[in-house]
Structure 1
Amino acid sequence: MLELLPPLNEHNLPWMDTIHPIVVHFVIAMALISVVFDLVGVVARRPNLFEVSFWNLIVATVAIFIAIIFGQIEAGLASPYGGARDVLNLHSTLGWTLAGVLALVTGWRYVVRQRDPLVLPRGFLALDAGLATLVLVQIYLGNMLIWIYGLHTVPVVRAVREGLIS
């Protein structure tokens, strides 16, 4: 069955380069800008920004599941070594958690929007802060996987293939 899969390239991937970071940048941008628009909307008393925030949450919620699919595939092909295994496991677990939190926030936001589109409850703003914190932690862990452990970079893939690291 493995012969049906395309051969892996120098990044240890069946496609040209990692897709997960490309898609996940949409999630990062949309989720964080949603929080910013909520905050500015409340402070500046500009409820029209709540509508922009809502649609950004919708896009982020859809995009995170696409990012997770590619992230899981690429994590399975990554050949993590040493401490990278623990960071990758934590990043994967928090990614699924973030997907759940994002879906919850989007669902709650939909209900709030139906009741009164001009007001955001304080509890929602607290959850917004938690969402932003979780996104920032994920950014940190993802950066560690690339910039410290070099997963899917050509030198690390070559070293793993040659048995220099395991």
Structure 2
Amino acid sequence: MLGWQQHLTMAVHGGADSGGGFAGSVAGWLAAIERAAGRSPGENFADLLPGIAAMENWHPLLVHFPIALLLLFVAIDIVASLAGKPAWRGAASWFLYAGTLFAAATVAAGLIAAANVAHGGNVHEIMEKHEHLGISVLVLAALLSVWRIAVKGGIGGPANQVFGLLAMLLAGLLVFTADLGGLMVYKFGVAVRAADPINQGAAQQHRHEGGAEGADDHSAEDHGGHAH
């Protein structure tokens, strides 16, 4: 039987590709419902959203939200400040608050992923920079949120200039953080199942190199402790 995604496609396109038309779509939906009734919730979820079901960690799914929300906040807030539109700044505040919450969830998921995703030594340094930048984004977004709430959105004078500079710094940190995340995925295939054999081998080599360095350091210490 067809999967949920295929039935959704048939419903949107009128079933023209399958030649069934409206009647074919209805029959397909009935068949899908019958099939779903005999399967577990997990199997149905994987059938409906196979991309999300294939994820080992939700970090790649969550990361889009703080990027979009916080960049929208920065853009709207700066325009509103220059145009003297307090109502726009009030709307921008909600993008900031939502972006901060999603940033917290994204950082948490990212830290979990970093501990479980196979990667080599060449990626480890990039991953650490990505982590530090991500945490910096969260801290700065939280700081701006607390500041905004404390003054109830009424920031003016020199304080407004400082706030604007920090908001632009936040946007810059977001761009650099996203760039490193993209580098790990699109160049090194981190968390990409098709690249798992390569990453597993690189991770094993990374562990061996780390162990060898530790052994060399230990040997050097022992050697230095002997009298000659």
> Fold conserved (TM > 0.5)?
yes
In the TM superposition, residue 83 of structure 1 has moved relative to its aligned partner by 1.6
Q: 1:164 to 1:125 in 2, by over 3 A?
A: closer
Identical amino acids, percent of aligned pairs: 25
TM-score w.r.t. the length of structure 1 is 0.82
Q: Which has the higher helix share?
A: 2
Cα distance in 2 for partners of 1:164, 1:127 equals 39
User: What is the aligned counterpart of 1:68 among 107, 110, 115?
Assistant: 107
Secondary structure of the residue that 1:89 maps to in structure 2?
helix
Alpha carbons 1:50, 1:117 under 8 Å: kept: no
Aligned residues of 1:33 and 1:56 also touching (Cα < 8 A) = yes
Cα distance in 2 for residues equivalent to 1:41 and 1:160: 46
Task: Map 1:132-147 to 2 at 5 A.
Answer: 132-147=171-186
Cross-structure match for 1:107: 146
1:45-83, CA deviations, whole angstroms, 9 ceiling, x for partnerless residues?
A: 222111111111111111111111111111112111132
What does residue 16 of structure 1 align with?
Answer: 54
Q: 1:46 aligns with which of 66, 77, 85?
A: 85
Structure 1 contact 31–57 (Cα < 8 Å) conserved: yes
* AA aligned opposite 2:77: D
- What TM-score results when the alignment is normalised by the length of structure 2? 0.61
1:11 aligned residue = none
In the other structure, the counterpart of 1:127 is 166
Match of 1:7 in 2: none
Q: Are 1:58 and 2:97 matched, yes or no?
A: yes
SS of alignment partner, residue 151 of structure 2: helix
- Kindly indicate whether the alpha-carbon contact (under 8 Å) linking 1:50 and 1:118 is maintained by their aligned counterparts in 2: no
1:96 to 2:141 alignment: no
In structure 2, distance between residues paired with 1:121 and 1:62 = 23
Q: What are the Cα deviations for residues 23-55 of structure 1, in whole angstroms up to 9, with x where unaligned?
A: 111100111000001111022222211111111
After superposition, give the CA deviation of every residue in 1:101-120 in whole Å (9 maximum; x if it has no partner).
11111111112325x37887
Greater RCO structure (CA 8 Å; 6+ sep): 1
User: Within the alignment, does 1:151 sit opposite 2:151 as a pair?
Assistant: no
Larger Rg: 2
| 1:147 Cα deviation after fit | 0.7
Shift of residue 92 of structure 1? 0.9
Count of matched residue pairs: 150
